Amino acid sequence: MRVAIHQPNYLPYPGFFAKLSLSDIFVIYDTAQFTRGDFINRNRIRTFSFNGFMWLTLPVGKKNFKGVAIKDVKISDQKIFNKHSRTLTVMYSKAQFFDKELCEIVGIPHENLSEHNLFLIKYILDKMKVNKPRLLLASELKIGIRQGTEGLIDIVKAVGGDEYISGLGAKVYLRPELFKKESINLSFMDYKPWRYPQLHPGFVENMSIVDAIMNIGWESTSEKIKETTIQKF
């Protein structure tokens, strides 16, 4: 049983959905600590700006988030949902595969950050033609809260997995010997950003998946995601 684990990012980039589609069980890591400057409450879309993109950010206030789990973070301004919906409409209304419904879905408000992000992830996954794993929340698993490799192993074991799929970037901190000790196979997602025609000049990789959907459509986005392969450790 292949298991992948990831924080509930806001309008994630295509690699998030590639990782998701490669798994049998995908665990939303909502018990991980919230960190500012990550992709949990923000992501990027293409624009005509000097650097080619802009951030869509969900405000979470000025609280010190040390020790605060993602599942406990609240969105501090309910007007932001309509603003993001309007921004997407303005920026992509002339895109070849402009999807008005997607813009409207982004505008549906939620108080809880993790719940809002998961709502959008589920909507996008449902519309895509990719493998759809079972989605679980780490907060609903009956396990303790450990960090690092040990915490990931706890989750994999709790859902009955025998293989863990990680992103390549995690090679620098994962401890493969611990997976081996627990008889869990370790694999890495070999995701490579793919080029596609973008509405605005040039190409900027790793935008929110919204950018790909608006420019090449749901079907083509799904097909490109399915090209991602797995490397055995």
pTM of this prediction? 0.95
pLDDT of residue 71: 97
The first and second tokens of residue 32, run together, are 């991980």
Burial 189-228 (b: 16+ CB within 10 A, else e): bebeeeeeebbbeeebeebbbbbbbbbbbbeebbebbeeb
Distance CA 116, CA 210 (A): 16
Closest CA to 86 of 120, 44, 56, 127: 56
Q: Tell me the β-bridge partners of 27.
A: 5, 136
pLDDT of residue 170: 86
Reported as a single tens digit per residue, the pLDDT across 47-63 is: 988 889 999 999 998 77
Confidence class for position 150, pLDDT limits 50, 70, 90? very high
The CA-CA-CA angle for residues 146, 151, 154, to 5°, reads 115
Distance CA 83, CA 59 (A): 12
The first and second tokens of residue 20, run together, are 């998701």
Confidence class for position 148, pLDDT limits 50, 70, 90? confident
* Ramachandran region, residue 228 (left: φ > 0; alpha: ψ -120 to 50; beta: rest): beta
3-state SS of 57-98?
Answer: ECCCCCCCCCCCEHHHCECCCCCHHHHHHHHHHHHHCCCCCC
Cβ pair 152, 167 in contact under 8 A: no
Residue 145 has pLDDT above 90, yes or no: no
pLDDT of residue 49: 83
Reported as a single tens digit per residue, the pLDDT across 87-120 is: 999 999 999 999 999 999 999 999 999 999 999 9
Confidence class for position 76, pLDDT limits 50, 70, 90? very high
